[in-house]
Amino acid sequence: MVSPLPPRRSLHMKAAAALLTAFLLAACGPTYEGYKAKPYTVRGQTYYPLQPREAVGYVEEGIASHYDESFLYIFPGKTAIGEKQYPWTKSAAHKTLPLPCKIRVTNLRNGKSITLRVNDRGPFIEGRTLDVTSAAAKDLGFHRAGLTPVRIQVLSVGDARWRIR
């Protein structure tokens, strides 16, 4: 007959399991705190993101494109703030908005509009302002066309306790 673990040892094992679970869950989530608005350089060009308080209410018009992340079913990519990017995700990339932020994107060709979370940097192709996921491009009605003129309005910056509206 096997005797059960002493109560104290059992409690220690449960505490260790809880700590390990918390550590693993924390490692899977975003790796940022607050906002990501520091200057950065890509291909020799330095970009200066808007500061969080000046970004709220910011409006911009430009050309949006979309990226195909279908290969990510097996290997999900990571965004500039460390989040996993899946094919069904509806999000966007922008060169100079603080990360993360929520924006309203309006397709100027058909009037369709959606709210997206900007969690990545890009597009780094001249003449393009915004890059959205394929799922977002379908909602905006330009998935087949690949590019469309859009209006971007920043609704809020940050998440949870860091949020500015």
Helix (H) or strand (E) holding 61: strand 59-67
What pLDDT band is residue 143 in, cutting at 50, 70 and 90? very high
**Residue range 82-96, pLDDT digits in tens:** 888 777 889 999 999
Taking the CB of residue 80, how many other CB atoms lie within 10 A of it?
Answer: 16
Q: Would you say residue 33 has pLDDT above 70?
A: no
Give the max Cα distance, the chain.
Answer: 76
Q: Would you say residue 79 has pLDDT above 80?
A: yes
CATH topology of domain 40-162: Barwin-like endoglucanases (2.40.40)
Q: Would you say residue 99 has pLDDT above 80?
A: yes
- Say which DSSP state 140 is in: H
**Lowest mean pLDDT, pick from 28-37, 62-71, 73-82, 149-158:** 28-37
Q: Would you say residue 23 has pLDDT above 80?
A: no
